[in-house]
Amino acid sequence: MRVFLTGGAGYIGSHTLTELLGDGHDVCVYDNFANSRPAALARVRTLSNRDFEVVEGDIRQGDRLAGVMRAFQPDAVIHFAGLKAVGESAAFPLEYYENNVQGSITLLRAMDAAGCRRIVFSSSATVYGEPRQARLDESHPLAPTNPYGRTKRFIEEIIGDWAGANADASAVLLRYFNPAGAHETGRIGEDPRGTPNNLAPFVSQVAAGRRDRLKIFGGDYPTRDGTGERDFVHVIDLARAHIAAIDYAMANRGCEAINVGAGSGVTVLEMVRAFERATGRAIPYDIVDRRPGDVPASVADPARAQALLGWTARFGLDDICRSAWNWQSLNPDGYEGVDPEADGKP
Ligand code: NAD
Ligand code: WQD
């Protein structure tokens, strides 16, 4: 198949790209490198020993996007491109609405112009807001609590309306829980700019000595040990869910929202212990106040992914921590200083 990846140079995009190439698909990556580097794509070339198209561009540039798509003629689009920092979205909401929501409308128009009617969209469990039950299924009400989450909710609805208006359209909205981990080779992984907002990259950097201590946000949640509970899903499992979603979109019409999570909860302290096992190093931490906006627990009911996509998570917490550590220790500064020319030869 011919697959068009917006945001394909990012963390989840680069891992999905690797899996797509490994399965023999032809890919075009369209990314403005706002939060990623060409070096990641160079690494994917070496890893997969395959070439693919790369276009530097912004999804808000409609004419450019439509031109690239008409030339590539994709069977399906996977739409990763977007801004994703919750705190930043509260400070700069219009940036988020413009980039994520306007960018997605522009993308759908370009797809119409190029005659492509299949899309897999990167949504997020954050669309559910405050959980009303222990395990969240897709029928849980949508009540995101920050502008970032609202962009995901609005885009889901826009894509749903687009699919409703086009009888030949097929859309899969993948609601990721907490992606973590890296490719087993340690050649690609998560490379956050500045101080990581998310738990797994922060803990990795503490283990590596780049940061002194972890702050655990809240020790008084109603969970097993008082720390927040999340559903961590290995990024390679997540990548495989996209491939299953494309297969689904090829065979079915309409719009489906599907959770992508392991279906089991891990507390922050359990994650810290798992990292200690994986690294053989102590992770010093302090338990501090809760982080505003955090929910106590967020765990997927992944039954729909199993039923519709035939997908379940294969990797567990220890695999996540081992692979994250492998990436971190082989690339202490992420892709910083990696020369795409020298490093990217197949
Ligand atoms: P990422 O920042 O690593 O990747 C996003 C990519 O999109 C980057 O390469 C960035 O340069 C590109 N991009 C951003 N705006 C663009 C624009 N206007 N035009 C073209 N390219 C643009 O993030 P990620 O973790 O790989 O996330 C991918 C998607 O999954 C995002 O939409 C994110 O909201 C969603 N998501 C991520 C998580 C997570 O925890 N990582 C969880 C749920 C959902
Ligand atoms: C996990 C747990 C923190 C950092 C966010 C977004 C969500 C989705 C995934 C994109 C919580 C605790 C964290 C730290 C800590 N992204 N923590 N110390 O908040 O579940 O989800 O990323 O869609 O939309 O909201 O993930 O990794 O930030 O936090 O104690 O330094 O780790 O309080 O309990 P979260 P996270």
For 50-86, the pLDDT digits (tens) are: 999 999 999 999 999 999 999 999 999 999 999 999 9
CATH architecture of 2-330: 3-Layer(aba) Sandwich (3.40)
The SS3 assignment for 240 reads: helix
Ligand 1 centroid from CA 84, angstroms? 6
Name the residue of 11, 176, 190 to mutate for ligand 1: max ligand atoms within 8 A of Cβ: 11
Give the closest ligand to the alpha carbon of residue 190: 1
Rounded-to-integer distance, Cα 300 and Cα 337, Å? 38
Q: Taking 90 as the threshold, does the pLDDT of residue 344 lie above it? A: no
pLDDT of residue 342 exceeding 70, the answer is no
Reported as a single tens digit per residue, the pLDDT across 247-266 is: 999 999 999 999 999 999 99
pLDDT at 338 (0 to 100): 82
Cα gap 124→74, rounded to integer Å: 24
* Average model confidence (pLDDT) across the chain: 96
- Choose one of 176, 291, 317 to mutate for the ligand 2 pocket test, by most ligand atoms within 8 angstroms of C-beta: 291
Q: Please report the pLDDT score of residue 256 as a whole number.
A: 98
Which residue CA neighbors atom 1 of ligand 2 most closely? 199
| DSSP states along 72-126 | H--SEEEE--S---HHHHHH-HHHHIIIIIIHHHHHHHHHHHHT--EEEEEEEGG
196 CB within 6 A, ligand 1: no
Among 3, 48, 31, smallest CA distance to 99 is for 31
Could you read off the pLDDT of 110-121 as tens digits, one per residue?
Answer: 999 999 999 999
Give the Cα separation of 68 and 171 in Å (integer). 21
Convert the pLDDT of each residue in 129-156 to its tens digit: 999 999 999 999 999 999 999 999 999 9
Q: Whose CA is nearest to atom 34 of ligand 2?
A: 228
**Are 70 and 39 spatial neighbours (Cβ–Cβ below 8 Å)?**
no
| Structural domain spans, the chain | 2-330
Radius of gyration (C-alpha) of the chain in whole angstroms:
19
Span from the CA of 271 to the centroid of ligand 2 (angstroms): 12
